[in-house]
Amino acid sequence: MTAAVAEALSLEQLIKAQACGLGFDLAGITSLGPMETAAAFETWVARGYAGEMDYLPRGTAKRRDSRLPVPGTTSAIVVGLDYGGRTPSGPVARYARGDDYHDVMLGKLEELHEWLEAELGRPVAGKAYVDTGPLLERDLARRAGLGWFGKNTNLINPDIGSFFFIGVLLVDLELHPDAPFEADRCGTCTRCLDACPTGAFVEPRLLDATRCISYLTIELKGAIPEDLRSQIGTHIYGCDVCQDVCPYNIKFAQELGEPAFAPRAAIGNRDAQSLARNLLAMNDDDFRAAFSGSPMKRAKRRGLLRNAAVVLGNIGDEEDKAVLAVATNNLDPLVREHAEWALEQIES
C-alpha cells in the first residue's frame, strides 16, 4: 500500500486492511453496548442446555453489555480466521488438529493492537478476546457484518461459510461501525438439523449441548451416556457434521491457509480406528509430547482415552481387544468403564 493510498483511506479501512495483512479472512467494526442475544443466552443456560459448562453463566452483567468487560472501550474490531473447511473430515474436528487457536488468534489481535497504537501515535486502551471472556462474540460478529446465525447456531459468512474462528479487539476509539448482517440466508434448508447424529437441535438455532458430540467428547468430564455412545460413531474429539452438510460450506469453504492449524503428527491423516488405537497406547509422556499447545488438551488424557474407547466400541474388531483389555486396567475408573463397554460391544 502506497503512502498516498493510505492517506486516502479512513482509519476503519486501514484497520481492516491491516487485519487482512495479518492473515485474518474477515474483519468488521461495531459499536459496543447492550447485546441482543444476552437474554436468549441466559434462558438457554437456565433450561439446562449448557450441561456441565458451569463457567458460562459467569460475568452475566458484562455479557449483557459489551462496554463492561473493559471499561472505557466503545468499539469492537471483529475478525474471522479460517481453519480450512476444504480439508477432509475425520475423527478430530478440523479446528483442533493443529495448534491452539486461542494462542494463534490472540497473537494476531495483539499485533493489530500494537499497529493501531503506532498508527495513531498514542496508547489505545483495549483488550483482545478469543472465546475466553464474558463476551457474546458471535453477536458482535453479526453486528459487524460478518455473517448471520445459521440454523446450526454457527455464524455463517456468505463468502467463506462457517469454518472460521471469531476474535474481538475492544478499543476506546469511536470508530464508524459497519452495517450489521440482517439477512437470514438459510431459507427453508434443514440439512444441518437433519444430519446431527445425536439429534442435538431442539429446533432451528437452539442446540441442546448435552446431546452434542462436541460437548460429549470435550466438555463432559464424566461418563458419556450409554444411549449416546453408539451415536458418537467415529468422532474422537469434536464434530463437524452440521457444518459439513451446510450448502455454504459445500460451495465456499476454503483450503487451509494458516500453517499453525495444519494437523499434528499424532493426528496426521489417521482414520478413527488408527487414531483411537494410538491414543490408547500412549503413556503420559507420549501424550504431553503429542499435544502440548494443542486444543485437544482441553479434554485431558483421560477424556481422550474415554472417547477412543467409545469409538473402538463402535467400529473396532478383534485386533482392538488387546489394547482395550489393557485400558480396562487403567487406574482411572472413567477409562476402565468405557474400555469395558467397548469390549462388550466388540464381543456381542
Query: pLDDT digit string (tens) for 167-186?
Result: 999 999 999 999 999 999 99
What is the overall mean pLDDT for the chain? 96
Where residue 5 falls among pLDDT bands split at 50, 70, 90? low
Shared domain for 79 and 228, answered yes or no, is no
Shared domain for 115 and 209, answered yes or no, is no
> What is the domain range of residue 222?
198-238+264-347
Q: Please indicate, yes or no, if residue 278 is contained in any of the structural domains.
A: yes
The percent of residues in the chain predicted with pLDDT above 70, rounded, is 98
pLDDT at 236: 98
Q: Out of 171, 206, 224, pick the residue that ends a domain.
A: 171
Q: Please indicate, yes or no, if residue 186 is contained in any of the structural domains.
A: no
pLDDT at 251: 98
Catalytic residue among 82, 103, 131, 240: 131
Quote the cell numbers at residue 14: 486501514
Shared domain for 217 and 159, answered yes or no, is no
320 is an active site residue: no
Shared domain for 139 and 204, answered yes or no, is no
Shared domain for 290 and 144, answered yes or no, is no
Q: Please indicate, yes or no, if residue 317 is contained in any of the structural domains.
A: yes
pLDDT at 6: 61
Shared domain for 56 and 143, answered yes or no, is yes
Q: Please indicate, yes or no, if residue 258 is contained in any of the structural domains.
A: no
Shared domain for 22 and 107, answered yes or no, is yes
pLDDT at 305: 98
Contacts 24+ apart (CB under 8 A), 340-347: 341/226, 341/229, 341/309, 341/310, 341/313, 342/309, 342/310, 342/312, 342/313, 342/316, 343/313, 344/313, 345/313, 345/314, 345/316, 346/312, 346/313, 346/316, 346/317, 346/318, 346/320, 346/321, 347/321
Q: Please indicate, yes or no, if residue 247 is contained in any of the structural domains.
A: no
Mean pLDDT of 292-319: 97
Shared domain for 101 and 148, answered yes or no, is yes
Where residue 3 falls among pLDDT bands split at 50, 70, 90? low
- Structural domain total, the chain: 2
Shared domain for 164 and 234, answered yes or no, is no
Mean pLDDT of 81-89: 98
Mean pLDDT of 106-130: 98
Q: Please indicate, yes or no, if residue 246 is contained in any of the structural domains.
A: no
pLDDT, tens digit, 9 for 90 and up, residues 263-285: 999 999 999 999 999 999 999 99
Shared domain for 109 and 15, answered yes or no, is yes
pLDDT at 39: 97
pLDDT at 66: 98
Q: Please indicate, yes or no, if residue 111 is contained in any of the structural domains.
A: yes
pLDDT at 268: 94
The pTM for the full model equals 0.95
pLDDT, tens digit, 9 for 90 and up, residues 210-265: 999 999 999 999 999 999 999 999 999 999 999 999 999 999 999 999 999 999 99
Q: Please indicate, yes or no, if residue 249 is contained in any of the structural domains.
A: no
Shared domain for 232 and 325, answered yes or no, is yes
Shared domain for 118 and 155, answered yes or no, is yes
Mean pLDDT of 142-152: 98
Mean pLDDT of 102-119: 98
pLDDT at 1: 57
Mean pLDDT of 154-169: 98
